[in-house]
Amino acid sequence: MILKKNVLIEFKICYNDYKCKRVRIGRCVIVSKVFSPFIYFFKGILVFFRALISIFYHAFLALPLVIKARKIKPDETPSEEEVKFKQDNAGRAILDTITANEDNDFNIDITAAEEDNEEGSLTKFGKKLMAIPEKIREQNTVSLIKKYTKNKGEPVPLTINYDGPDAVKSKDKQVYEYIIKTPEGRYQKGYFSAFSKVEVYSFLRSEGNIVYSIRTNKWLQTTHNNIAGNSKIKIKDLNFLLTQLSTYLKAGIPLADSVKILVKQFNNKNYQRILRGVVYDLSIGKNFSEALEKQGKAFPQMLINMVRAAEMTGELPETLDDMAEYFAETEATRKAMVTAMMYPVIIFVIAIAVGTFIMLYVVPQFVEIYESMDDAEIPGITLFVLAISDFLQKYIIIIGVAVILLLLVIIYLYRHVKPFRRAIQLFGMKSPGFGNIIIYNEVTMFTKTFASLLAHNVFITDSMTILNKVTNNEIYKGLIIKAINNIAKGGKISTAFKDHWAFPIPAYEMIVTGEKTGQLPEMMQKVAVYYQDLHRNAITRIKTFIEPILILLLTGMVGVIVLAIVVPMFNMYGSIQQ
C-alpha cells in the first residue's frame, strides 16, 4: 500500500468550452488504494453536472434560432409586383450605400443578402421535404379511388341512387369509409357514422367536397365502430371550444355553421370527427344536447345537461360561457390536488433511486478493501450496509419486477374493485395533513358543481345524479345516494350530510340555510369559494412543511451510507499510523 502525505487536491470545473475554474479543497493525507474509488465517484458526479450545464447552455443559445424558425410563415409566395418592388427598393438601398460610402472605395456588405438567400433556399428545401408524406398519402388515396371505381384513368365522382338501396336507412348508425377531394384540391380518406349512404354523401357534398367512394362492410364496423365516441376532449380544448362557440352564437352565426367553423380550427383528427358528428346530428334535426350525447364520452355529462336546460330557457351562449369558466376552475383545482400528491411521491422515488444507485455501484467498490480487515474492526453499520448492497446485487431484478407487479395490481384493484377503492380513499381522508386537502377538494367540487347546475335550472334530482357521476370518491358517492333517497321520500338534502365526518359543519349549515331561504345556488357558490381558498392554503402549507422533511430524509439516508463507508477508512488509517 502506497502512502502519500500532504497532497494538494484541486478540481477543475469547466462550465463551457472557454470558462474553467479551479477549486482547491486543501492539503490532506491520501491512501491511494483506499480512497481512489471514492474520488472516482465524486469525479463522475462533477462530469455529470458539467454535461448538464453544457446542455442547458447550448439549448439557451439555440432558443433564438428556434423562435426565428417558427416565425417563418410557410406557403407565402410573393407576387411578381412584390418581387419587382423589393428589387427596386434593394437597388435604391445599394445606390444610397454607394453614395454614402464614396470615400470608402465602395465597400458594400452583402453578407446579409447572402444569408437571406441561403435561408430562403433552406426553407424551400424544408417545405419540399415536409410535403413528401402528404404527397405519398394523396397518391395512395388516388390509387384507392381507381380501385373502388374500377377506373384506370382519371377518378370519376360517385353517383348516388336516391331512390334505391343507397337511401335505405339502417336501424343503428353504420361506419362508412369515404374518399373525397376537398375544395382546396387535396385527396382525403376518412370515416363517418351515419344511417345511410345517401346521408354520408349529402353531408360531404354540403361541405363542398367531391365524393369518389363511400363503402361499408363488417370489417369496418368491427375496426372503426364508435371511432369518435371513445375519444374524450381535453379540458383545455373544451374551454376553447365553448368560448369560441359562444362568441359565434352571440355574433348571430347559426349553431351548425358555428360548429363547422370549429372543425377547421382543430388539427386533431379525433376532435374533427367528433365535431363533424355533431354537425351531422344537427343536420338531421337533433337538438344540440342530443347531438353532444350521441358522441359517447367525448363531452362531460354535466355539459350535456346544462345545454339541455339552456335549450329550454334560450340562454345557450351564456351557459356556454359559464361552463367554460366552470371547467377552467375545476381543472385548476384538480391540478393543484395532483401537484400536492405528486410532489412527495417524486421526492421519495428520487431518494430510493439515489440510495439504490449507491448500494449497487458505489458500495461494492469498497468490498475488496474491507475483506482485508478483521470483522472486529468493521463497525456494525458498515456490515449492515454491505449486507443490503449484497442482497440488492443478487435480487434487484426480482425486486424490481415484484414492485412493478404490485403497483399494477394496486392500480387495477383501485379502478375495478369498489371496496378496495373505498378503503384507500378512507385511509387518505383520515391521514393527518393530506386528509384535509382531500376533503376540501371534494367539498369544493361538490358545491361548485351543485351551484352551477341549480343556477341553470337543472332539476335537483338530475343534479344529484350528475354529481354522483362527477365525483370518484366512494364516501361522497354514498352521501349523494343517501341525499337522492331522501329527496325521493320527500325529505331534505341536508339530512344526508348531517353529522358526517367527511362533510364540514360550515358547509352543512350553508345547505340548511339555502333550503330555508330558497337561495341554495348562491349559498353553494359561497361555500365553493371559501373551501377553494382553504384547499389552496392547505396545499401551500403541506408543500412548505414536507419539502424540508423530505430533503432531510434524503440527506440522512445518503449520509448514513457515506458514513458507513468512511468510518472503516479512518480505522484503517489509524492502524497504519500505529
User: Tens digits of per-residue pLDDT, 238-277?
Assistant: 999 999 999 999 999 999 899 989 988 888 888 888 888 8
Higher pLDDT, 310 or 104: 310
Q: What is the pLDDT of residue 298?
A: 86
Q: Is the pLDDT of residue 39 over 60?
A: no
Q: What percent of the chain has pLDDT over 70?
A: 69
Identity of the highest mean pLDDT range in 147-151, 307-311, 396-400: 396-400
pTM above 0.85, yes or no: no
User: Sheet of 187-194: strands edge to edge?
Assistant: 187-194, 174-181, 210-215
**Cβ(495)–Cβ(480) below 8 Å:** no
Higher pLDDT, 124 or 70: 124
Give the mean pLDDT of 171-176: 79
Q: What is the pLDDT of residue 443?
A: 92
**Dihedral sign, Cα of residue 293, residue 295, residue 299, residue 301:** positive
* pLDDT tens string 453-489: 888 888 888 888 888 888 889 999 999 999 999 888 8
Identity of the highest mean pLDDT range in 52-56, 226-230, 432-436, 492-496: 492-496
Contacts of 574 (CB under 8 A, 6+ apart): none
Q: Is the pLDDT of residue 74 over 60?
A: no
301's grid cell: 355529462
Q: What is the pLDDT of residue 130?
A: 58
Q: Is the pLDDT of residue 409 over 80?
A: yes
Query: Could you tell me the pLDDT band of residue 92, with boundaries at 50, 70 and 90?
Result: very low
The one-letter amino acid code at 460 reads I
Contacts of 311 (CB under 8 A, 6+ apart): 287, 288, 289
Give the mean pLDDT of 382-396: 88
381543472: which residue's cell?
A: 331
Q: What is the pLDDT of residue 410?
A: 94
Query: Could you tell me the pLDDT band of residue 30, with boundaries at 50, 70 and 90?
Result: very low
107: Cα separation from own chain's centroid: 55
Whole-number Å distance between alpha carbons of 541 and 169: 61
* pLDDT tens string 516-537: 998 998 999 999 999 989 988 8
- The 8-class DSSP code of residue 49 comes to H
Q: How far is CA 245 from CA 159, 257, 319, 405, 463, in A?
A: 35, 10, 11, 46, 24
Whole-number Å distance between alpha carbons of 379 and 377: 6
Whole-number Å distance between alpha carbons of 194 and 215: 12
Q: What is the pLDDT of residue 225?
A: 63
- The 8-class DSSP code of residue 168 comes to P
Q: What is the pLDDT of residue 31?
A: 36
Q: What is the pLDDT of residue 535?
A: 87
Whole-number Å distance between alpha carbons of 272 and 228: 9
**Dihedral sign, Cα of residue 55, residue 60, residue 63, residue 65:** negative
Q: Where are the domains of the chain?
A: 3-70, 434-545
- Phi first, then psi: give them for residue 225, nearest 5 degrees: -65, 135
Q: Is the pLDDT of residue 144 over 60?
A: no
At the topology level, CATH places domain 434-545 in: Receptor-associated Protein (1.20.81)
Q: What is the pLDDT of residue 367?
A: 77
Give the mean pLDDT of 40-67: 57
Q: How far is CA 553 from CA 76, 344, 362, in A?
A: 59, 12, 20
Give the mean pLDDT of 533-550: 83
Least confident of 103-112, 184-193, 512-521: 103-112
Q: Is the pLDDT of residue 395 over 60?
A: yes
Give the mean pLDDT of 198-210: 83
Q: Mean pLDDT of all residues in the chain?
A: 75
Higher pLDDT, 137 or 428: 428
Q: Is the pLDDT of residue 7 over 50?
A: no
**Dihedral sign, Cα of residue 256, residue 258, residue 260, residue 262:** negative
Give the mean pLDDT of 549-563: 82
Whole-number Å distance between alpha carbons of 235 and 258: 20
Higher pLDDT, 395 or 457: 395
Higher pLDDT, 225 or 125: 225
**Cβ(229)–Cβ(295) below 8 Å:** yes
Query: Could you tell me the pLDDT band of residue 40, with boundaries at 50, 70 and 90?
Result: low
Contacts of 507 (CB under 8 A, 6+ apart): 443, 447, 497, 527, 531
Q: What is the pLDDT of residue 100?
A: 42
Query: Could you tell me the pLDDT band of residue 509, with boundaries at 50, 70 and 90?
Result: very high
Q: What is the pLDDT of residue 315?
A: 85
Query: Could you tell me the pLDDT band of residue 404, with boundaries at 50, 70 and 90?
Result: very high
